[in-house]
Amino acid sequence: MGVNGLWLIGLGPGDLQQMTVAALDAARDADHRFLEGYTALLPPTELENMETIVGPWELRMRSAVEEPDDLLSLAQSSKVALLVVGDPLQATTHVDLELRCDELGIPCHIQHGVSITTIVTGAVGLQSYRFGRQCTFAYPYGEYLPTSPLEIILANRERDLHTLALLDLDPSGMGEGQQEPMTPGIAMDVLRKMAQKLDVDIEDWKIVLCSDMGTVDARISVGSPTDISGIKEGRIHCILVPANLHDVEAAALARW
């Protein structure tokens, strides 16, 4: 028969009912299931549900995915599912896994998932074609604070484009566990520190905070950096920095 191979399977944004039918079938049908636990996180309730919905599974952190000899040798003789929150090919590591499979002659299959990128632009009501390059706010390490995320936002604003900023999940930067998704307060601190370094005034900016998107707790807030900084609710967040708003966009944002 030979149904060996690696399946890269998107779980969607959090709620497992947002897996595609094809992804769910492939995940259930696997001999081994590993949850990739470092590029994104599932809500705790969905972690609990996963065995019932999908089947027994084990957690794999960064080193096991970036040095995947064990995964790949297992995939040579059985059907191995690597479960990834969101869409499985949005992270370079997973594209690298595809290439390694190619080299080793191991079949590699992809089951896409709904990605946070689609959800936030749509849910907020900003137009997807008006987004420039996205960026990620990293946790500051001591005195080291790169200003490139704010440079990307400024370059986008200059062209009247919105920016999606993802927020770091891992203060250690190692991807091996103990993740602490960045809070709105820390994100605004990072934004202000970058602004100080680049000598830009961002205090009157309108920031859109998207919290726990794709789960039943999804929530959108709009406000100044000071407003956003004070928000304590929510588990995983990302931020949009809008450019000038078109009419429908302004009406859409006025809802929050």
- Chain residues binding a second copy by CB under 8 A are 10, 12-13, 15-22, 24-25, 87-90, 92, 95-96, 98-99, 102, 110, 112-115, 117-119, 121-123, 125, 127-136, 155, 159, 161, 214, 248, 251-252, 255
What's the closest the beta carbon of residue 253 comes to a second copy, in angstroms?
Answer: 11
The distance of closest approach from Cβ of residue 207 to a second copy in the complex, given in angstroms and rounded to an integer, is 20
Give the residue with the Cβ less far from a second copy, 97 or 229.
Answer: 97
Question: CA nearest 108: which of 67, 77, 66, 80?
Answer: 80
Query: Least CB distance from residue 126 to a second copy, whole Å?
Result: 9
Q: Which is nearer to a second copy, 167 or 225 (CB)?
A: 167
Look at strands 237-241 and 163-167 and give their pairing: antiparallel
Min dist CB 134 to a second copy, Å, is 5
Report the residue number, 212 or 229, with the smaller CB distance to a second copy. 212
Residue found by looking up tokens 């690298």 in the block? 96
Nearer to a second copy, 230 or 246 (CB): 246
Strands of the sheet with 237-241, listed across from one edge: 135-137, 163-167, 237-241, 207-211, 219-223
Name the residue among 166, 243, 231, 152 with its Cα closest to residue 256.
Answer: 231
CA atoms within 13 A on the CB side of 171: 9
Residue closer to a second copy, measured from CB, 24 or 229? 24
CA 34 – CA 38 distance, rounded (Å): 12
Q: At what angle do helices 148-158 and 184-198 cross, to 10 degrees?
A: 80
Q: How far is the CB of 79 from a second copy (least distance, A)?
A: 18
Between residues 97 and 191, which has the closer beta carbon with respect to a second copy? 97
- Tell the smallest beta-carbon distance from residue 112 to a second copy (Å): 5
DSSP 28-73: HT-SEEEEE-SS----HHHHHHHHHHT---EEE-HHHHHS-HHHHH
Residue 20 phi/psi, 5-degree rounding, is -75, 160
Distance of CA 195 to the CA centre of its chain: 24
